[in-house]
Amino acid sequence: VSTTEQEINTYLEALSEEAESPQSLLRKAVELLGSEIALASSFSVEDVALIHMLVEIDPNARVFALDTGRLNDETYQVAEDIRVKYGINVRWYFPEKLKVQGLVRDKGLYSFRESVENRKECCAIRKVEPLGRALSSLKAWITGQRREQSVTRQTLEFVEIDSVNQLLKLNPIAAWTSNDVWDYVKRHEVPYNKLYDKGFTSIGCAPCTRAISAGEDERAGRWWWESPEHKECGLHFTEEDLKQADTGDKT
Ligand code: ADX
Ligand code: SF4
C-alpha cells in the first residue's frame, strides 16, 4: 500500500481530534483504518494494556511483534498468555538470518557492549529492518510509548507522522504515568511480564536489560552502559535523529 502525503494528513487531522482518551483514539483509528493499522507489541505493561483496549474495540485488531532472537523467556511467556487469553493471532517478524549470521560471525555475540555504533548496528539488524517489513502493508502503527519514560520522549504527540517510515504513528497512552498503566492492567486482570515483579521497569532484549534500584530512572536498566540521550534503538527515530547520526552528533 502506498500512502500519499495527502492521505496521511487527512488521517492526522481526523485522529488528532479524538485523542481525549486512549480508547476514543483507538476506536476512531480502527474505524478509519481497519486492518491497515496495527499495534507494535513488545508485551511491555503498556502494550498489554493497549492490547486489552484494542480487542474490546475489535477482536480482530492487528498486533505484531519483533522477535530479535535475544528476548527473555518471561517475554515469550506473557506473549503466549495474552495470545491464549484474548484469542489474538500475533504476527511475529524475525530478522534476516544471513544478516544475523554475518554479525555474530564477524563481531561475536555481544558486540553491542563495545560501542554505541555496534549497539545500533545490532538493533538495526534485529529490530529496525524487521520493523520496516512489518510496517510495509500499513497506513498507521500504534505504540505504547509514554512521555514520562525518558528524556527522548518528553514531547511525544498522541498522533504524529513517522517520516522515516512514511506513515502515521499513534501513541494513545503518551500522557499516562506508570501508575495509570499499572492501575489499568490490575483492574482488568491483564497478564503482564513477570520480570516487572523482579525490579524491571522497562524490558527489551535480555542482554540489554537489567532490573533497576530504588530512585533510578525508569529506563536506567536499558543499555545501562550508555548515557540517557543514546537510549533509543531506532524503532522510534525521527528524520532529525538520522541526520544527527550522519553527522556524528548522536554516536
Ligand atoms: S525501545 O525503542 O526502547 O525498544 P520500548 O521498549 O520503550 O522501545 O517500547 C516502546 C514501544 O515500541 C512499545 O510500546 C512497542 O509499541 C514498540 N516496541 C518496542 N520493542 C518492540 C518489539 N520487540 N516488537 C514490537 N514492538 C516493539
Ligand atoms: Fe541487539 Fe541489544 Fe538491540 Fe536487542 S537491544 S537488538 S540484543 S543491541
d(CA 214, CA 124): 32
How confident is residue 3, by pLDDT bands cut at 50, 70 and 90? low
For the segment 44-86, what is each residue's pLDDT rounded down to a tens digit? 999 999 999 999 999 999 999 999 999 999 999 999 999 999 9
The ligand whose atoms approach the alpha carbon of 228 most closely is: 1
Residue 249 confidence (pLDDT): 44
pLDDT digits (tens, 9 = 90+) for 82-108: 999 999 999 999 999 999 999 999 999
Q: What is the CA radius of gyration of the chain?
A: 18
**What does the pLDDT average to over 221-231?**
81
Q: Taking the C-alpha atoms of 152, 47, 237 and 101 in order, what is their torsion angle to the nearest 10 degrees?
A: 120
Cell numbers 487469553 correspond to 85
Is residue 1 pLDDT above 60, yes or no? no
Query: Do 175 and 147 contact (CB within 8 A), yes or no?
Result: yes
Q: Is 122 in the pocket of ligand 1 (CB under 6 A)?
A: no
Closest residue by Cα to atom 5, ligand 2, is: 205
- How do residues 128-154 score in pLDDT, each as one tens digit? 999 999 999 999 999 999 999 988 899
Catalytic residues: 233
The residue with greater pLDDT, 208 or 244, is 208
Q: Does ligand 1 lie within 6 Å of residue 232's CB atom?
A: yes
Please tell me if the CB atom of residue 172 comes closer than 6 angstroms to any atom of ligand 1.
no
| Whether 45 contacts 177, CB under 8 Å | no
Cβ-contact 56, 196 below 8 angstroms: no
Tens-digit pLDDT profile for residues 6-42: 889 999 999 998 888 999 999 999 999 999 999 999 9
pLDDT recorded at residue 251: 33
pLDDT digits (tens, 9 = 90+) for 151-198: 889 999 999 999 999 999 999 999 999 999 999 999 999 999 999 999
Distance from residue 94's CA to the centre of ligand 2 (Å): 13
Cα–Cα distance, 8 to 158 (Å, whole number): 15
pLDDT > 90? residue 241: no
Atom of ligand 1 nearest to the CA of 236: 2
Residue 230 has pLDDT above 80, yes or no: no
Atom number, ligand 2, closest to the C-alpha of residue 127? 6
CB 206 within 8 A of CB 96: no
Encoded amino acid at 222, one letter: R
Which of 147, 107, 142, 150 lies closest to 126, judged by CA?
Answer: 107
Residues in the ligand 2 pocket, defined by CB under 6 Å: 68, 70, 112, 119, 122-123, 126-127, 204-205, 207-208, 233
Give CA–CA dist 65/91, Å, rounded: 6
The answer to whether the Cα torsion of 143, 146, 151, 155 is positive or negative is: positive
pLDDT at 243 over 80: no
The pLDDT value recorded for residue 2 is: 52
87/65 Cα distance (integer angstroms): 16
- Residue minimizing CA distance to atom 2 of ligand 2: 208
Ligand nearest to the CA of 207: 2
Q: Which CA distances in Å does 81 have to 43, 159, 187, 189?
A: 10, 29, 17, 12
Contact call for residues 53 and 26 (beta carbons, < 8 A) = yes
Which of 34-43, 49-58, 204-213, 227-236 comes out lowest in average pLDDT?
227-236
Which atom, in ligand 1's list, is nearest to the CA of 219? Answer: 7
